[in-house]
Amino acid sequence: MSAVSITAVCETYIRRRAIRHLEKGRIVICAAGVGNPFFTTDTAAALRGIEMGCNVIFKGTQVDGVYSADSKKVTDAVRYDKISYRELLSLDLKIMDVAAVSLARDHSICVSNK
């Protein structure tokens, strides 16, 4: 589902319709952000997760976890098996933007890249 009309690819995001898909046991994949400037796709995912009452957001990424630094550039970067929202923000790891992390934290939504 997408806030931006790309009907050749997916249906337009309508909150109630997305919830109905979930109620029927379907998986909802949100694409293309919220359709407004200044909002990243991470923030869009957090916002849609809140709107649909999700417990977890699955973040698609090329990296297999959260690291203390860019693991492609820093060979001794430490991989975190688990990290709190507070740690993520205080370490300024830039895995997700601050708005997305704050929304997920404030609404008790787990973020996973697995």
Q: Return the domain boundaries, the chain.
A: 15-112
Each residue of 50-70: pLDDT tens digit? 999 999 999 888 888 899 999
85: left (phi over 0), alpha (psi -120 to 50) or beta: alpha
Contact between 111 and 56 under an 8 Å Cβ cutoff? The reply is yes
pTM for this prediction: 0.84
Structure tokens given for 82: 């688990």
The architecture of the domain spanning 15-112 is 3-Layer(aba) Sandwich (3.40)
The average confidence (pLDDT) of the chain is: 92
pLDDT of 4 > 80? The answer is no
